Structure 1
Amino acid sequence: MGTKGKVIKCKAAIAWEANKPLCIEEVEVAPPKAHEVRIQIIATALCHSDAHILHPKFTKALFPVILGHEGAGIVESVGPGVTNCKPGDKVIPLYMPQCKKCKFCLSPLTNFCAKLSQFKDPIIQQEVMEDKTSRFTCKGKPVYHFLGTSTFSQYTVVSDTNLAKIDDDANLERVCLLGCGFSTGYGAAINTAKVTPGSTCAIFGLGGVGLSALIGCKVAGASRIIAVDINSEKFAKAKALGATDCLNPRDLQKPVQEVIIDMTGGGVDFALDCAGGSEAMKAALDCTTVGWGSCTLIGVAIGDKGLTVSPIEILMGRTINGTLFGGQCCHFFLLIFSILVLKLLQ
């Protein structure tokens, strides 16, 4: 017997309150309404943004909530008006909506959508569906969505503007990373920083986003890529992906930015901070060359005091860029291209 139009009972990891472990619970997932899609989640990854919500200093989150935004799955059913996918399609839920009608979607200058730009904090948004209600229920109580995706559930409901259809032969356990980590890092290097052939780059933080940014720098043709992390065990993977140098700030006799300046004869062309935190952001900016150095900020740290910048640092020709989801604009072409890149790097 099919499940279309019926409530589905399944397992989900629920955050009932801040600073507490997630609980595996049975939830009820309502059928999709107009322009909504219900997805069976096959694979999901963990992003640090999911952990941010649970941090006691992050007081903006609403509980209970089903987290998760790096997932991939199969369309179970669609609501009225959905034309971009059908039951059985493999898809990736995306926290960056794309209505394709607003001034942001129609502009080549940004990957934002009006559905997202109304929020001051991109982590806190899309907690309910368009009709201001949730599709999740647990123990008779509504449960909030997260980033419009909530992939920590065996079934989830998303807006038809928050997903991308992918190839039928895609490996869902791998492409789930395209929902955030890979696209964010890779896109930051390609779309936002616009790394150029023969350039020098420094990447701060070698998690999933940082390694993806490293891949982006390599694909863009950077001649030297300096990877920075306080965990030296990550260096082997970084070198395998194209890093030419690896630095652990804790092993150095002076600030890492000064070491990078010495190594490159004045600083790198491009620096990408994938770690967050005031020290990493400042080091990333300081290690760029005067005249044209570009610093792209990707990482976020909860409770951090932020970046303090002297005007002279900018007047000397440096630029600071911010990026969300790697500046990726067209979900369909983004994902197809990213899948091809992943295949080439296997």
Structure 2
Amino acid sequence: MRRPRQDEEKQMDLFAAGAESRLLQAAIRFDDRGQRLAAARLLRAGTVRFHPWPDGELALDQLERTLARESLHTLQAAVESRYSAADAARLSSALERLGDSSGALGWAHAAIEEDPCNPEGYLAIARGYLRRFRRDEDAVAGLQALRYLTKACQLHAGHGDCLRSLAMLLLLLRAPSAAAKVLRPISRATPSDPMVLALEALSTEIPAENTSNVQELFLRWETGTSPVHSEETTAVIPAPDEFSVWELDGTRALAACSACADQRQELTENLSVLAGSLTQATTRMGLGQIARVTARSADGVLIGLAEAGGVVFSHTDRPSLENSLSRWLESDRGRERSR
């Protein structure tokens, strides 16, 4: 009799680099033996591990559509006879695989309405957005997937499918350290799970991220650039003591700041995310590059001004100085900088 450890090692080999053909053949053998769910699990893991993998994506799509068609009548009968949040969520997933996006979304929301504390409805919506994020490279869909996955994980911290999907999203964003933390509970509980093996194999090939800001991860994925903030290379902008000023270059890295400006990583990263988000959003909407943005609160005023090759942010904690800050920002404001 084959020992479990040998079976696990054989399955791990299917997720080694260059093992796409072997994994596809293994899935076909499962399908030929009538083990379609096992074949689908293996292909799902393979399409994550080897993304993009057109042959695997095609095989998985055909198999999942077949499974959805075969189960559709049973799922419809279940929601008509006993109706639970879990039943509605399963029907939503089947409809989504069959291309009925509106029906899928409707039943997922019905699941949430039936039981707001059940994670399955949120997970069903998240899967649809995650699929769109992977297929169409749609950053907005990725953010929506994150929103619903986060909610599902909050409702059931140890939910295996939620954790696998969240780890998959983080790896798509090239954040292996964050993905490893998410995977840790299910790696201990189900070490031979195909998706766990795929995600673990993929995470070893991606350099560790240097940020925990999820919005920054999305911007890096979308723009292909990673800002590097270094105090040693940051120039000094002459500015009145009442104003804090930061200049970000085309990569959203801090290029210069005023002497009194806060240079802590969290604030610098938030300004970088703000600059990138505004630029990406207006471009995506066909509105071109943003020229100026103003944010007001009881704690002060922040003004951002686009310039050639970057963005300048200036802040004062005295709202009464907004006009003075605006005039100073529009002036040449001492273009000579010192290191």
TM-score under structure 1 length normalisation? 0.28
Bigger Rg, which one = 2
TM-score under structure 2 length normalisation? 0.28
Structure (1 or 2) with the greater helix fraction: 2
Q: Which has the higher contact order (CA 8 A, sep 6+)?
A: 1
Structure (1 or 2) with the greater strand fraction: 1
